[in-house]
Amino acid sequence: MRKVKTWSTHTGAAQFHHEAGDAIGYIPRVASIPSPYMYSPSDAVYQWRGMRVIFREVAHRRYQAFELPADMPITDDERATEAYLKLKS
């Protein structure tokens, strides 16, 4: 995954969510991207500026968007959660 943008304010995070709108699907949580506040077993996928991205708070008030590879399948939240739990066990 490629990091495409970093924000350092809550305003920037809100602007991202306004531009991106609702999630288009989910993927199992990406464990290689650190996040002290991430407890969900799935990551929401957004369509943003022509890219499929995940949005993560990687440190206190530091947010980053990561572009997903084109061949990465997205699914619903329940299936993404199940896939993550299978990988975890």
This prediction's pTM: 0.91
- For residues 50, 51, 52, 53, the Cα torsion angle rounded to the nearest 10 degrees is -130
Give residue 12's pLDDT band: very low, low, confident or very high (50, 70, 90): very high
Per-residue model confidence (pLDDT) at position 51: 97
Show Cβ contacts of residue 64 under 8 Å, excluding neighbours closer than 6 positions: 3, 5, 6, 7, 33, 55, 56, 58
Looking at the chain, the whole-number percentage of residues with pLDDT higher than 90 is 84
Distance between CA atoms of residues 84 and 89, nearest Å: 9
80, 26 Cβ separation under 8 angstroms: yes
Residue 38 has pLDDT above 90, yes or no: no
Per-residue model confidence (pLDDT) at position 37: 84
Residue 48 has pLDDT above 90, yes or no: yes
